Amino acid sequence: MQGINQKLNALQSILGFFLQSAHAPQKVIDTLAHLGVSISTDAINLAVRSLSAESQNALRDLGQSLLVSYAYDNFDVDLKSQVSTVEKPNDSLKHLMSGLLFPLVHGITIDDLKCSEELWKKSMLNPYIKGDNIPLRHSWRDLLNLHGEGSNDSNLSCRDRFNAWMFLCGLCTYGPEYFHQFQLMLQDPEPVEQIPLIKTPIYAT
C-alpha cells in the first residue's frame, strides 16, 4: 500500500479526507500516514485550501456570468459537544443556512432574463399600472388548455391518454403476476413538451 509516487495516492487522499471529516486525532492520522494508509495532516490541510480556492474561483466565475440560480435552505443542527449543567446550560441547537449555485442551462442567455420591466408593467403591485396592462385572472382550469392536443387518431384527450398509460404501467408493474409479461411491450408516455435532459453541475456556497 505504501508508495513513493506523490502523484499516485488517490486512496491515501480519500482516507485522509475521511479521517479529517471524522475529526480523527492528528496523531492517528500521522501514524496512518507513516504506515502509508493515509496522507499526512499537512497534506490534508494543503489539499483543503487548494480545493477551497478552486471552489471560490468557480463560484466567482459562475456569479459573474449572471446565468446562475441561487437556492437557499434553512436547517437546524443539534450540536451536543458539551454536557449541560445547571450553572452553565448549553444551547446546542444551532440554526444554519446552506446555499447552492447552479448554472442556467438549455440555451438561456442574459437577454432572456431581461424581463423585470415587462413583469413590473403587468404586476398588480405596481401602483402606476395602466388599464390595458392589467393581467387577466387565471385559475387552475386554464392549465387544462396550456398544451394543445396535437395530432392523434385516438378519441381520448392528452390527459386521458396519460392517465391510461399510468394505469397500464401500474398494472404491469405492481398488478397480478400475469400482467408482468406485458411490461416490456409498454412504450414510453407521449411527450407533450419534452425538455432535453442535461446534467447540471452544482456548487456549494
Q: Could you tell me the residue ranges of all domains in the chain?
A: 8-65
In the predicted model, what is the mean pLDDT of the chain? 83
Q: Give the predicted TM-score (pTM) of the model.
A: 0.55
Q: Tell me the pLDDT tens digit for each residue of 84-94.
A: 566 666 677 88
Please tell me the predicted confidence (pLDDT) of residue 106.
Answer: 87
Task: Answer yes or no: are the C-beta atoms of 55 and 63 closer than 8 Å.
Answer: no
Q: Tell me the pLDDT tens digit for each residue of 9-53.
A: 788 888 998 998 888 898 999 998 888 888 889 989 998 899 889
The whole-angstrom distance between residue 160's C-alpha and the CA centroid of its chain comes to: 32
Q: Where are the alpha helices (DSSP H) in the chain?
A: 10-21, 26-34, 41-64, 116-121, 158-174
Is the pLDDT at 65 greater than 80? The verdict is yes
For 162, phi then psi, to 5°, come to -70, -40
Q: Tell me the pLDDT tens digit for each residue of 132-152.
A: 777 777 788 888 777 777 666
Is the pLDDT at 160 greater than 90? The verdict is no
